[in-house]
């Protein structure tokens, strides 16, 4: 079943997205109209950043696909090989040429080598940890643009809190709500997680639950259930329409409510919930049975590949922000799915991680490009950090096998594409051992600021937190040179 956390109660955080899904039941009759009015008022906030007007790349994107490779992929074994480095640094893999002149990647990324002409490869992602050596803290920083302010003695973050900074998709779904009856922000196929900390950095935080993602926590490589996005069988469309008209009539007869609310705003949001279910666009977008077997095989018949295919379908339907999380717990077993290669690095990368990443990401870029979707969609593939250049050393307090690599935030890689971002370019360079940037360092918050910038949102704009205190949208600056 689609997992949309929430309960049938209303707080100062506003209604959850599950409440919108209940339009086919009497649950809609209990929705808090003042909260919908607040949501409408906030959703219409569409900040214009005049200072960036005319800057290259500003406002070039309409949608975002965030591919979050949680666990920390080894940059030196995937995107940034160093064949001339000492053996305990360069590892076991050989480099191969790409469509970017002079740029090589791992031999286990042959498809992406041929499709990097559609993207920019950033080799200078970097930050100084300052306590951000664990997965959850680094994930929080990457997706919210802020360092966490509370870390437990064990090094883990505290569980998600309503006071957290919002994840990027929540800000974007608020500031750039879609016009069509679709889900504005979808996260799949599983939550962000390290050990027992689930969802940190992946929620709306102080924006309120109305801006949480629609959490499609199922495996798209298997048959999925879409009942939450469909009209209940016992309620025909005509009956639903009658309920909608009845609600409008009830609202119109409540003068005390109209004094506090804009009645047209109320009708608009009932209408959007009504259209979402009745139009079937969201449900259809998640129905991979509508794709050919050939296309499904091109993406890879596994969870990651089919998640990317669903992301393309959601973007095509009008969803504003889709986040695909690498389908594993951040510090899980590398022999199954996790990028966290302390105990074994080369075997899992060769036999599991790289083949799935290579096929899925190359298919997404190729498919979106051929459909024209890449012109207005920014695609980002990144993890929370890279892996230590030297094999078998401890950099984060973890133990590592002789062929394992530890956490390494000082230098790693990302792939970005679409919305006018330069095609076939390498941005930044690492040093001889991929230990630190040699030039053009990009902080994770800078990359996130670039995503906002691409959507025409001023990264420097002021927002208000749960205490009504002014804060910057993100603690970073856009990298305008990513655009051609």
pLDDT, residue 68, reads: 98
Second-level CATH architecture of 55-226+281-482: 3-Layer(aba) Sandwich (3.40)
pLDDT, residue 148, reads: 78
pLDDT, residue 226, reads: 81
pLDDT, residue 126, reads: 97
Tens digit of pLDDT for each residue in 455-480?
A: 999 999 999 998 999 999 999 999 99
| Kind of pairing between the strands at 425-427 and 119-125 | parallel
Write out residues in the chain with pLDDT < 70, as ranges: 1-49, 150-156, 230-279
Domain ranges of the chain: 1-44+231-279, 55-226+281-482
pLDDT, residue 241, reads: 52
pTM of the model: 0.85
Tens digit of pLDDT for each residue in 388-415?
A: 999 999 998 889 999 999 999 999 999 9
pLDDT, residue 196, reads: 85
């Amino acid at each position: 079943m689609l997992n949309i956390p929430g309960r049938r109660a209303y707080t100062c955080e506003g209604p959850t997205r599950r409440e919108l899904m209940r339009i086919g039941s009497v649950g809609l009759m209990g929705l808090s109209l003042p909260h919908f009015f607040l949501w409408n008022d906030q959703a219409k906030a569409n900040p214009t950043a005049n200072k960036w007007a005319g800057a290259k790349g500003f406002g070039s994107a309409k949608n975002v696909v965030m591919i979050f490779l949680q666990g920390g992929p080894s940059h030196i074994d995937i995107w940034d090989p160093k064949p001339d480095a000492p053996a305990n640094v360069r590892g076991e893999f050989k480099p191969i040429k790409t469509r970017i002149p002079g740029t090589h990647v791992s031999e286990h990324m042959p498809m992406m080598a041929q499709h990097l002409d559609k993207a920019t490869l950033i080799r200078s992602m970097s930050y100084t940890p300052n306590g951000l050596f664990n997965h959850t803290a680094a994930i929080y920083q990457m997706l919210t643009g802020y360092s966490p302010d509370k870390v437990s003695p064990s090094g883990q973050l505290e569980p998600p809190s309503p006071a957290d900074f919002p994840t990027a998709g929540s800000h974007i779904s608020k500031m750039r709500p879609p016009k069509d009856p679709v889900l504005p922000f979808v996260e799949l196929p599983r939550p962000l997680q390290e050990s027992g900390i689930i969802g940190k950095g992946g929620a709306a935080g102080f924006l309120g639950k109305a801006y949480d993602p629609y959490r499609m926590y199922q495996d798209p490589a298997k048959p999925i259930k879409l009942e939450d996005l469909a009209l209940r069988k016992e309620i025909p469309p005509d009956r639903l329409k009658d309920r909608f008209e009845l609600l409008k009539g009830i609202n119109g007869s409540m003068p005390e409510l109209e004094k506090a609310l804009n009645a047209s705003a109320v009708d608009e949001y009932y209408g959007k919930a009504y259209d979402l279910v009745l139009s079937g666009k969201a449900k259809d977008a998640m129905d991979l049975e509508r794709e050919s077997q050939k296309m499904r095989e091109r993406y890879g018949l596994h969870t990651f590949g089919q998640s990317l295919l669903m992301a393309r379908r959601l973007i095509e339907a009008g969803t504003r922000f889709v986040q695909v999380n690498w389908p594993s717990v951040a510090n899980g077993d590398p022999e199954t799915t996790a990028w966290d290669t302390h105990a074994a690095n080369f075997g899992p990368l060769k036999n599991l991680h790289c083949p799935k990443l290579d096929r899925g990401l190359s298919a997404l870029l190729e498919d979106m490009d051929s459909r024209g979707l890449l012109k207005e969609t920014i695609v980002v593939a990144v993890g929370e950090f890279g892996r230590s250049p030297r094999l078998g050393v401890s950099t984060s307090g973890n133990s590592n096998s002789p062929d394992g690599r530890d956490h390494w935030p000082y230098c790693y890689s990302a792939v970005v594409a679409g919305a006018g971002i330069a095609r076939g370019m390498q941005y930044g360079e690492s040093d001889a051992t991929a230990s630190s940037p040699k030039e053009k360092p990009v902080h994770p918050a800078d990359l996130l600021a670039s995503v906002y910038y691409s959507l025409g949102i001023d990264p420097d704009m002021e927002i208000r937190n749960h205490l009504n205190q002014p804060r910057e949208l993100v603690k970073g600056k856009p990298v305008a040179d990513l655009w051609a």
